[in-house]
A and B are shown apart, each in its own frame.
Chain A
Amino acid sequence: MIFFDNASTTRTDESCHDIIKKYCFENFYNPSAPYHNAISVKNDIKEAREKILRALNGEDGRLVFTSSGTESDNMALFGAPKRKYSRIVISASEHPAIMNTAMELSQRGYEVVAAEVDECGRVIPEKFFNLITNDTSLISIMHVNNETGGINDIRKLCHIAKSIKKDILFHSDGVQAFGKIPVDVKELGVDFYSISSHKINAPKGCGALYIKRGVSVQPIIFGGGQEMNLRSSTENIAAIISFAHMAMRKTQNLYDNLNQIAALKKHLYDNLPYDERVIKISDENCSPYIIRLALKDVKGEVMLHALEKHGIMIGTGSACSSSKPIKSWKTAFLPQEYKNGLLRISFCTDNTIEQIDYFIKRLNLEYSELIKYARG
């Protein structure tokens, strides 16, 4: 089995096994309880929080554990202080977790505008700055695009946005960035930053929102007052501790991993046929973890199923939205014959050069088979 859909989720690292076991069967206590064993779990969560803040280089800020990247995004957009009916700027290529949350805010009276992006989903800075008005209170731009790997220069966008209007709050969805490319929230200058556990080989069910020091936020979930009263719910301790564990590990090995993945991408690009059959959309500035290709005259979905037969799992669009009609930014620049042929290949450090060779071989074979019956 070859898993090339690591942007949708990753396999939980074996090293999490003992952590999960420990916090499910031994230290299973409710961290809010007052006895010793529970307090020790509470301390473990505190330590996990500090680890992740350190990994983000945001130690003087706050970190709220949530259930997912999506929840973190929701918390940032709904919870950030903003004037009623003010303007919210997002990018046209945001993940549905931001896109649909912003749409909901627009239903509730906010003016939501989306900045134009290039073919890799990156905000075009000039067009973006023109959208920032005096009435703008919140901006949300993803760090790494989940479908192309396109990296937004969050530092530049954030600094210039704040120079246009000082009190603007800036959120970035860093779900595909954290643990994969260097992330330094201080340097980026963001007020909020969303991350997710299952994208970095920790279990599903945990996310976090970084909140810059001095920035206030309203909870969107109410109850027992956990997480500094910002996100009530009994903590998912096994996932939280695993998340922190993997965050540390990914940050420590960040450059080694990045080099390994970049080599995979290079190998893929070097060996994919250099002809009209496939367009390599993700360019050299994208995160090498995610690659978008477009096939000529063969549907992405059909290729996905054809490869599935041979044990290769890839993506088409984003797994959260692959059943929805493709939004225009994704294909606007593509010739008609390629518009339905989007593929997403996404790596993790378990992947090997041999897997890529097999993938390319299968892709070529399946392509030459499928193209025979392509729509004429």
Chain B
Amino acid sequence: MERTILVRIGEIFLKGNNRRYFENILKQNISENLQGIDCSIVYERNRIIIENFMPSNERRITDKLSKVFGIHSISPAMKTKTDIELIKKLCAEISPKNGIFRVTVNRADKSIIKRSMDIAAEIGAYMLSQSKELRVNLFEYDFEVYVDIRENGQTYIFTEKLSGAGGLPVGCSGKGMLLLSGGIDSPVAGYCMAKRGVKLCAVHYHSFPYTGELAKQKVIDLAKKLSAYCGNIQLYIAPFTDIQYAIREKCPAAYMITFMRRFMMRIAEKLALKTGCSALITGESLGQVASQTMESINVTNSVVKLPVFRPLIGYDKNEIIDIAKKIDTFDLSILPYEDCCTVFLPKNPIIKPDLIKVEEMEKALDSMEDLINKSIENVEIINTIDN
């Protein structure tokens, strides 16, 4: 008898012939996620079993696993050899001593002649005999005792099924470049795409001396929070001040943000192509601010060829905040350090820019390519997880 953790695989089930590919990525992600914790990981069909860990680490392991995409549910379980007497005793031992319950048996080992229902009834009867405060109801119950009899002569017993993070294993859907600002939305956008299996790189625009060390550290900390869900993030910190100066000098103030965002998209795309990313990811939510109207998005989108994923486009602020709180980025995001977008914020930013006009105005920026290349040359690269 020993403590184990059962991990059930989520949506990958659906993937017919590609299944092996998805599973391998998930396995890799799980072992990376549990790095540094002493335990062994056993891979079975449709599930993964964590064994040989210190009981004091159980909570830490389940916490970590609950953030790995591709996992459907997690159950801390007792593993024992398949012996009905032993199983009965264990069931009684690990269950609460009062309340309404049911026993569910899954019998993969068909060499056992008794049917699942009969075994369940037998276990239930034993448990009832051990405590007068227990009652059975198969439909409305306070807790459920699961007994999973495997083909290899081992049985797993557990009472809880913790929800996994769902989604697809990070990495199975390719790599994307997240524009990470330090606000509430962009980390959530990264989370949403990682959930669909996207491995993240991120770019942050830094406007020293307008934004200081604290603002930069905040973004690094945000990326580290995201890493709990999606593994290492390569974070590119791109200097942006010279570009802002150039725009400020040569373009109308009301269009400041429009031009800034066009530059951000261009730099992000260049970095994306350099690092093997095949999409850009932004935290834009339609109509939230002047730069996120349909017209503005059109004008900023038109400078890139890569697809731009905007998973929050149809979300309300409150819905975004709920996710930010869930993934623990909210408190960091609301730290009051300036980001590069607020530095030269015009009083009345243009809400519905016109693409043709903008392109015309942008011609004044003759040194555009140089500015972009200079920023890319001077990026600082930070890995959120040290290898």
Q: Spell out A's residues near B (CB within 8 Å).
A: 299, 301-306, 308-309, 323-324, 370, 372-373, 375-376
What CA separation (Å) do A373 and B210 show in the bound complex? 11
Q: Report which of A305, A323, A375 forms a contact with B209, defined as CB distance below 8 A.
A: A305
Contact B344 A304 (CB under 8 A): no
Q: With A373-B244, A373-B248, A375-B344 as given contacts, are A305 and B212 in contact (CB-CB < 8 Å)? A: yes
Q: Which residues of B contact A373 (CB under 8 A)?
A: 244-245, 248-249, 344
Q: Which residues of B contact A309 (CB under 8 A)?
A: 208-209
A-B pairs with the 9 shortest C-beta distances? A305-B209, A306-B209, A305-B212, A373-B248, A302-B209, A302-B210, A323-B336, A373-B245, A305-B208
- How many whole Å from B49's CB to the nearest CB in chain A? 47
What CA separation (Å) do A299 and B337 show in the bound complex? 13
Contact B244 A301 (CB under 8 A): no
Given A372-B245, A373-B248, 11 more pairs with CB closer than 8 A? A301-B212, A301-B338, A304-B212, A305-B209, A305-B210, A305-B213, A309-B209, A323-B214, A323-B335, A373-B244, A373-B344
What CA separation (Å) do A299 and B210 show in the bound complex? 9
Q: Which residues of B contact A308 (CB under 8 A)?
A: 209, 212-213
Q: Which residues of B contact A370 (CB under 8 A)?
A: 209
Q: Which residues of A contact B210 (CB under 8 A)?
A: 299, 302, 305
What CA separation (Å) do A302 and B209 show in the bound complex? 5
Cβ-closest chain B residue relative to A303: B209
> What's the dominant secondary structure at chain B's contact region?
loop
- How many whole Å from B291's CB to the nearest CB in chain A? 18
Check: B253 CB closer than 8 A to any chain A CB.
yes
Q: Which residues of A contact B212 (CB under 8 A)?
A: 301, 304-305, 308
Q: Which residues of B contact A304 (CB under 8 A)?
A: 209, 212
Q: Which residues of A contact B248 (CB under 8 A)?
A: 373
What CA separation (Å) do A302 and B245 show in the bound complex? 14
Q: Which residues of B contact A305 (CB under 8 A)?
A: 208-213
What CA separation (Å) do A323 and B215 show in the bound complex? 11
Cβ-closest chain B residue relative to A375: B344
Q: Which residues of A contact B253 (CB under 8 A)?
A: 376
Q: Which residues of B contact A299 (CB under 8 A)?
A: 210
Cβ proximity bits B237-277 to A, threshold 8 Å, 1 near / 0 not: 00000001100110001000000000000000000000000
- How many whole Å from B79's CB to the nearest CB in chain A? 47
Contact A323 B344 (CB under 8 A): no
- How many whole Å from A339's CB to the nearest CB in chain B? 16
Give residues of chain B (184-211) contacting chain A, Cβ–Cβ below 8 Å: 208-211
Cβ-closest chain A residue relative to B248: A373
Q: Which residues of B contact A324 (CB under 8 A)?
A: 336
Cβ-closest chain B residue relative to A376: B253
> In the complex, which range does the number of interface residues on chain B fall in?
10 to 19
Q: Which residues of B contact A375 (CB under 8 A)?
A: 344
- How many whole Å from B211's CB to the nearest CB in chain A? 8
Cβ-closest chain B residue relative to A323: B336
Q: Which residues of A contact B244 (CB under 8 A)?
A: 373
- How many whole Å from A306's CB to the nearest CB in chain B? 4
- How many whole Å from A322's CB to the nearest CB in chain B? 10
Cβ-closest chain A residue relative to B214: A323
What CA separation (Å) do A303 and B209 show in the bound complex? 7
- How many whole Å from A343's CB to the nearest CB in chain B? 13
- How many whole Å from A1's CB to the nearest CB in chain B? 15
Q: Which residues of A contact B338 (CB under 8 A)?
A: 301
What CA separation (Å) do A301 and B338 show in the bound complex? 10
Q: Which residues of A contact B249 (CB under 8 A)?
A: 373
What CA separation (Å) do A184 and B163 show in the bound complex? 66
Q: Which residues of A contact B335 (CB under 8 A)?
A: 323
Give residues of chain B (320-361) contacting chain A, Cβ–Cβ below 8 Å: 335-338, 344
- Residue of A304, A308, A373 with highest tally of chain B CB at under 10 A: A373
What CA separation (Å) do A372 and B208 show in the bound complex? 15
What CA separation (Å) do A303 and B344 show in the bound complex? 15
Give residues of chain B (201-234) contacting chain A, Cβ–Cβ below 8 Å: 208-214
- How many whole Å from B337's CB to the nearest CB in chain A? 7
What CA separation (Å) do A304 and B335 show in the bound complex? 19
Cβ-closest chain A residue relative to B345: A375
Q: Report which of B208, B211, B213, B337 forms a contact with A323, defined as CB distance below 8 A.
A: B337
What CA separation (Å) do A323 and B212 show in the bound complex? 12
Q: Which residues of B contact A376 (CB under 8 A)?
A: 253
- How many whole Å from A101's CB to the nearest CB in chain B? 23
Cβ-closest chain B residue relative to A299: B210
What CA separation (Å) do A162 and B244 show in the bound complex? 59
What CA separation (Å) do A272 and B212 show in the bound complex? 25
What CA separation (Å) do A305 and B211 show in the bound complex? 8
Q: Which residues of B contact A301 (CB under 8 A)?
A: 212, 338
A-B contact pairs, 14 of them (CB 8 A): A301-B212, A302-B209, A305-B212, A305-B213, A308-B209, A308-B213, A309-B208, A309-B209, A323-B335, A323-B336, A323-B337, A373-B244, A373-B245, A373-B248
What CA separation (Å) do A86 and B244 show in the bound complex? 55
What CA separation (Å) do A309 and B209 show in the bound complex? 8
Q: Which residues of B contact A303 (CB under 8 A)?
A: 209
What CA separation (Å) do A320 and B135 show in the bound complex? 59
What CA separation (Å) do A52 and B6 show in the bound complex? 64
- How many whole Å from A176's CB to the nearest CB in chain B? 24
- How many whole Å from B129's CB to the nearest CB in chain A? 52
What CA separation (Å) do A323 and B244 show in the bound complex? 24
Cβ-closest chain A residue relative to B346: A375
Cβ-closest chain B residue relative to A366: B209
What CA separation (Å) do A304 and B209 show in the bound complex? 8
Q: Which residues of B contact A372 (CB under 8 A)?
A: 245
- How many whole Å from B250's CB to the nearest CB in chain A? 12
Q: Which residues of A contact B209 (CB under 8 A)?
A: 302-306, 308-309, 370
- How many whole Å from B133's CB to the nearest CB in chain A? 43
What CA separation (Å) do A373 and B212 show in the bound complex? 17
Cβ-closest chain A residue relative to B347: A375
What CA separation (Å) do A301 and B209 show in the bound complex? 8
What CA separation (Å) do A140 and B335 show in the bound complex? 31
What CA separation (Å) do A137 and B378 show in the bound complex? 61
What CA separation (Å) do A301 and B211 show in the bound complex? 8
What CA separation (Å) do A12 and B253 show in the bound complex? 48
Cβ proximity bits B301-336 to A, threshold 8 Å, 1 near / 0 not: 000000000000000000000000000000000011
What CA separation (Å) do A302 and B211 show in the bound complex? 7
- How many whole Å from A133's CB to the nearest CB in chain B? 37
What CA separation (Å) do A303 and B210 show in the bound complex? 8
- How many whole Å from A115's CB to the nearest CB in chain B? 28
- How many whole Å from B206's CB to the nearest CB in chain A? 11
What CA separation (Å) do A119 and B134 show in the bound complex? 73
- How many whole Å from A80's CB to the nearest CB in chain B? 34
- How many whole Å from A321's CB to the nearest CB in chain B? 12
What CA separation (Å) do A309 and B338 show in the bound complex? 18
Cβ-closest chain B residue relative to A325: B336
Cβ-closest chain B residue relative to A307: B209
Give residues of chain B (120-165) contacting chain A, Cβ–Cβ below 8 Å: none
- How many whole Å from A340's CB to the nearest CB in chain B? 11
